[in-house]
Chain A
Amino acid sequence: MAIQDFGTMMDRKRAGAMNGNKAARAAREAIYVACAAVAIAAFAFAFTDPFVVTLAGYTCAFALFALSINIILGGVGEVPLGQCLFFGVGAYGAAIGMGKLGLPFEVAVLIALVLSVVLAAIIGVITLRLTGAYFSIVSWGLTGVAMVAATNLEEITGGPLGLFGFPPIEIGPLQLSDPQTYFAVTATILLLAIVFLVALRRSPFGAAMDSVRQNPHLARSVGVDVARVRLKAFMLSAPFAALAGALAVPYTQIVTPEVFSVANTVDGLLMVLLGGAQLVVGPVIGAAMFTLIPQAMNLDPNVRILVFSSIIILIMMFAPGGLHQLGVALRDRLGRRTDDDRSR
């Protein structure tokens, strides 16, 4: 739970040990991050098959997109069906910046990130007055507009064929065309994003988001500016999606109007639901499964949708909080059993 630790911290009986607990938690979390960094390095060295390593890199990029979706879904409780708009802005930003304007990749991406935040601010001010299905539908509609624009502005976007044939993509000395480097870069960015989101959830703004998601009326009555919190969350989620879109380009090597397809958003939403919206790394777990299962089972893309739809239905029935919930339930059950033993 997002602010559980913050809440526990307030426990007066433990107030004396507060700093000790905090330090212990920080140390534990530093170890997690170090382990993840080692795992990233180990994976990059252990796997030599360029296909596997590149796909892993792309999975990390898409996991970043799922995290962006979850800032809205798991954060403030709206369903962002238009989130692929920002993904597309990132992808086209990188492609147009590099291909048409001759900018370095990182400069093009930075511009795209700024653009995505500005766009989110404008869209948010207009659509976030609407909530529930209205916000979802209007934002989805805007992606349709973007798709039409991308298809018809041939001078800029290359039209329906899209943009391709980029110069070698690099960030400073790092060649993203090299599979190992590509994976290491995307995985590191993903790791940093997770650390940031964990800190965000524990912050007062994280608490405000959680209060808005659970009960906007009550949140308002304790002084939370609900519209502002929603807008800030939306503006925060946009650059994550844009970065994901840009980082997908070295893998896809082409950007077409299809990036604005709602299918993209739905893939991201499925990842969030698979892994669980109330766990920061839930969407990452979901993204990994989303990539691994079709590969392992060698599924046809059409069958894939069928399989995932069925899985989602099962998850909604038996673990509505996402798959990690099963782990939590198991832990609780085992924990309770040991408590009972003790009390006997």
Chain B
Amino acid sequence: MTIAAAERPVVSARDIVKRYGGVTALNGVSLDVEEGEIFGIIGPNGAGKSTLFDILCGITVPTSGSIRIMGSEISGMPPHLIARSGVARTFQRTAVFAESTVLENLLFGRHASFHHGVLGRIVGSKSYVRDQQAFQDRVEEILALIGLDGERHRKAGVLAYGVQRRLAVGIALMSDPKIMFLDEPAAGMNGRETADFIALIRAIAPGRTILIVEHDMAVIRQLCGRALVVVDGKPVVVDAPHHVLSHPEVVTAYLGADDDE
């Protein structure tokens, strides 16, 4: 695992600043994530991790700074277009379409790659039939991967929390993204669910770049090659997780968090 950033990073942020009125949520964060890496973003509550995350995937517009994803500047690009360019994300809360079945959830995930007009669907054009077949294969593959093969007709809202999280990853996988952003994927999971989840992420990681915001240090330690620590909106250190966690400033930030906030 290389510690230094690669020559051509897949996700690259430079001097990200975000102010809300007089409050500075992020102050000069830069990062480079190389292709195929699983990269962690950690920090105490209120450190600005989630803001950074939302900026990286285009949901929040930074006050200043630039973000390049696969070489193109994404500042000012609408989120749905970023999604269509091969970037997928999961959400911490409301991660699935609760009123729909597992199968329908995956169907929604296909939106970005569905380009057939009314006519093609009605007459069943060749490309439509072919895509339909490929789509079915993909659905089966993902259902097996996320372990929801037997639950396909159940409503997503009634599934256990950890299972919903796996479904959320399944939705994101439908567009076969090159980059995945996972927002606190293991929050609220029990030990077994977390272990299953780590295995799932390892299984889908080859060929993708994955960024994870996470509280659970076990997840970061087991999955990530490198992690960035953000404290009070400022980047503290980027390094392998076991180095990061023993960094003096990080220790102070975590242990002193009560006094700071």
Q: What is the 8 Å Cβ interface bit string for chain B, positions 106-122, against chain A (1 contact, 0 not)? A: 01111111101010010
Q: How far is the CA of A149 from the CA of B30 in the complex (A)?
A: 56
Q: How far is the CA of A7 from the CA of B103 in the complex (A)?
A: 6
Shortest beta-carbon distance from A317 to chain B in Å? 20
Residue among A7, A15, A203 with max Cβ neighbours from chain B (10 Å): A7
Shortest beta-carbon distance from B129 to chain A in Å? 11
A295 interface residue, CB < 8 Å from B?
no
A222 and B111 in contact, given A4-B104, A12-B139 (Cβ under 8 angstroms): yes
Residue among A3, A15, A220, A223 with max Cβ neighbours from chain B (10 Å): A223
Q: Are B98 and A222 in contact (CB under 8 A)?
A: no
Q: How far is the CA of A214 from the CA of B107 in the complex (A)?
A: 14
A298 interface residue, CB < 8 Å from B?
no
Shortest beta-carbon distance from B141 to chain A in Å? 10
- A interface residues with partner B (beta carbon < 8 Å): 1, 3-4, 6-8, 10-12, 15, 203-204, 207-208, 210-211, 214-215, 217-226
Residue among B104, B110, B174 with max Cβ neighbours from chain A (10 Å): B104
B125 interface residue, CB < 8 Å from A?
no
A221 and B89 in contact, given A11-B152, A207-B108 (Cβ under 8 angstroms): yes
Contact residue among B83, B90, B95 (Cβ-Cβ distance under 8 Å from A220): B83
- B interface residues with partner A (beta carbon < 8 Å): 57, 59, 78-81, 83-84, 88-91, 94-101, 103-104, 107-114, 116, 118, 121, 135-137, 139-140, 152-153, 171-172, 174-175
Q: Are A222 and B171 in contact (CB under 8 A)?
A: yes
Q: Are A208 and B152 in contact (CB under 8 A)?
A: no
Contact residue among A3, A12, A204, A218 (Cβ-Cβ distance under 8 Å from B94): A218
| Residues in chain B near residue A208, CB distance under 8 A | 111
Contact residue among B84, B111, B153 (Cβ-Cβ distance under 8 Å from A204): B111
Q: Are A221 and B96 in contact (CB under 8 A)?
A: no
- The 6 A-B pairs of least Cβ separation, nearest first, read A223-B112, A223-B83, A7-B103, A7-B104, A223-B84, A211-B108
A214 and B99 in contact, given A220-B79, A222-B171, A223-B175 (Cβ under 8 angstroms): yes
Q: Are A221 and B108 in contact (CB under 8 A)?
A: no
Q: Are B107 and A221 in contact (CB under 8 A)?
A: no
Q: How far is the CA of A224 from the CA of B107 in the complex (A)?
A: 12
Q: How far is the CA of A160 from the CA of B175 in the complex (A)?
A: 57
Q: Are A6 and B100 in contact (CB under 8 A)?
A: no
Q: How far is the CA of A246 from the CA of B218 in the complex (A)?
A: 65
Q: How far is the CA of A317 from the CA of B84 in the complex (A)?
A: 41
Q: Are B107 and A10 in contact (CB under 8 A)?
A: yes
| Residues in chain A near residue B137, CB distance under 8 A | 12
Q: Are A218 and B97 in contact (CB under 8 A)?
A: yes
Q: How far is the CA of A71 from the CA of B139 in the complex (A)?
A: 29
Q: Are B111 and A4 in contact (CB under 8 A)?
A: no
Q: Are A222 and B104 in contact (CB under 8 A)?
A: no
Q: Are B80 and A225 in contact (CB under 8 A)?
A: yes
Q: Are B95 and A10 in contact (CB under 8 A)?
A: no
Q: Are B139 and A10 in contact (CB under 8 A)?
A: yes
Q: How far is the CA of A206 from the CA of B97 in the complex (A)?
A: 14
| Residues in chain B near residue A218, CB distance under 8 A | 91, 94-97, 108, 171
CB nearest neighbor in A for B156: A214
A1 and B104 in contact, given A214-B99, A221-B83, A226-B80 (Cβ under 8 angstroms): yes
Q: How far is the CA of A207 from the CA of B139 in the complex (A)?
A: 17
| Residues in chain B near residue A6, CB distance under 8 A | 104, 107
| Residues in chain B near residue A211, CB distance under 8 A | 97, 108, 111
11 more contacts with CB within 8 A, not counting A203-B121, A208-B111, are A7-B101, A10-B139, A11-B152, A204-B111, A220-B59, A220-B80, A220-B83, A221-B172, A222-B108, A223-B81, A224-B80
